[in-house]
Each structure stands twice: as C-alpha cells, then as structure tokens.
Amino acid sequence: MHRFFIGEAALKSAQPGTTLSLPANFAHQVRDVLRIAIGEQLVLFDNSGDELLCTVTQSNRGNVEVLFDERRPGKPEPRTNIILCQGLLKSARFELILEKGTEMGVSSFVPTLCRRSTSGLEEAGPKKIERWQRIIQEASEQCGRARVPALQKIRTLSDVLKELPADALALMPWEEEHALSLYATLHAARAAADKGTATLPHTVVIIIGPEGGLTPEEATLAIQHGVKVVTLGTRILRAETAALLTVANVIYELDA
C-alpha cells in the first residue's frame, strides 16, 4: 500500500471517520502519478509513530480527499539510535547513503565537514538540502518506516566530536587503522551485554571520512573524545560502501 509522509505531527488531532484533504503535491502524486482510484486505500504518517489508514473518497484535479478509517501503530523503529556522520561527498554518492541508510534504519544523518572534504560542500546549498530531505522522506515512505530520519545541519568534525552524546558508542572506521576491527568492537559490546557486565548501547555514532579519507590528526582527535577508531578490513572501500557496511554490521550485532 502506498504511504505518504504528511509533515511533522500533522495528523495529531485527526479523528477516525473524518475527511482529510491532501496537500496539493500529494494530490498530484495520488491521482496523476500513482493513479490511486476512489475507494482505494493509502496510508498517511506524521512521525508520531502511528499510521493513518485512509480511503480515497474524492479525486479531482488538484484536490484529493480521503476518509480517515483507522489509526494504528506503525512499525517499530530499530532499538539502536544510529547517527551517521558522513564526510561530505559528491552528491550522487551522498544521496545513495541517505536512501540506503534510511532503509537500513539510520535515525539521523549529519553531513560532516572534514579536513579532506574536497567535494560536496559547494553542492550543499538550500536546494540540495531540500532534495536530500526528499530522498530520506521517499525512502521512509517506500520502506514502511513510521518515522523519517532527521537530516541535521552540516557540522565540522570537531563539532561532531565535541557534541557526542555521553552514553553513545562512537565508531570511526579509518583506512589506516590495522589493529582494532569493527567486528571485534561490536562483538565485545554484545558479549558484555549478554554477560550482564555492560548494557547494550542505545546510541551508536558512526563517523565516515570523505573520498579523500580521514587524516591521522582527525583519528587522534576522535580517540581523545572516546571514539573507537576501527578497521573494516584490508581493502579500501569507497565512502558509501564503508558507511553502509558499518550500519549493516551495527544493526546485525546490536539490534537483535
């Protein structure tokens, strides 16, 4: 069933049995693009965690009305709050991370300015940010998430490090680290939780470098802030591969 994100808290006071008029951009999509007919159902959501099951009751040019049938709980979010701080990249690669990261369960994206960020920043104007927001929203609609991940404002790596949540497990995959692996780090966290000697982290911050990589100074600064600098293996991965591999492993190891 098609799902539409209708805006933050937009449906809070809506009551079953009432009629809602869809905003113009959705009306166009419902009627002209997806050709959802009168009598067919669709789902609206607003980041409350709930979904509204609705039936199309009217469909004219530019105006689609739906009857609100039922409020029901949306799918639960992952138990781990994953904050992905991604060194700015060329737009297409950055957009891939936004789409796939949303599908996998990232809760927040932080475009991050690093020493070797050579591309991406010039593209990060208001138009681009609106586009990135739309990619995240459409991925959420498509994959059935009840919440749209946040796109935070662009931050420098040093600000990201200064503002790390106190209880977070922070990971920085670094291409020049050869000893501590991501797998060992996650496995240790899992094993400690299973043994009862520590609680499984609720927030995981992942910091991935830009195309040019992370400098030794950046890795040192991260360690000073309590970040675990890890290797993903012997091959140098593209930033988007590194980001998605790390998210997938965090979900696999910590989110059971």
244 binds ligand SAH (CB under 6 A): no
* Three-point CA angle 242, 246, 247, nearest 5°: 120
Burial 15-48 (b: 16+ CB within 10 A, else e): eeeeebebeeebbebbbeeeebeeebebbbbbbb
Is the CB of 72 or the CB of 178 nearer to ligand SAH? 178
Is the CB of 140 or the CB of 231 nearer to ligand SAH? 231
- As measured in angstroms, the least distance from the Cβ of 188 to ligand SAH is 17
Residue facing ligand SAH at closest CB distance:
209
- As measured in angstroms, the least distance from the Cβ of 150 to ligand SAH is 21
Is the CB of 63 or the CB of 252 nearer to ligand SAH? 252
The 8 Å CB, 24+ separation contacts for 20-25 are 20/44, 20/54, 20/65, 20/66, 20/67, 20/68, 21/63, 21/64, 21/65, 22/63, 22/64, 22/65, 22/66, 24/62
208 binds ligand SAH (CB under 6 A): yes
Please give the single-letter amino acid code of residue 147.
R
Instruction: Pick from 173, 186, 205, 251 the residue near ligand SAH by CB under 6 A.
Output: 173
- Span 212-241, contacts to ligand SAH by CB under 6 A: 212-214, 231-233, 235-237, 239
- As measured in angstroms, the least distance from the Cβ of 80 to ligand SAH is 20
Other CB atoms within a 10 A radius of the CB of residue 191 amount to 11
Instruction: Pick from 97, 139, 170, 242 the residue near ligand SAH by CB under 6 A.
Output: 242
Half-sphere exposure of 32 (CA within 13 A, CB side): 10
- As measured in angstroms, the least distance from the Cβ of 175 to ligand SAH is 4
Is the CB of 52 or the CB of 186 nearer to ligand SAH? 186
- As measured in angstroms, the least distance from the Cβ of 233 to ligand SAH is 5
- β-strands 155-156, 169-173: how paired? unpaired
At 99 the three-state DSSP class reads helix
Q: Which two tokens stand for residue 42?
A: 């669709």
Chain contacts with ligand SAH (rule: CB under 6 A): 173-175, 208-209, 211-214, 231-233, 235-237, 239, 242
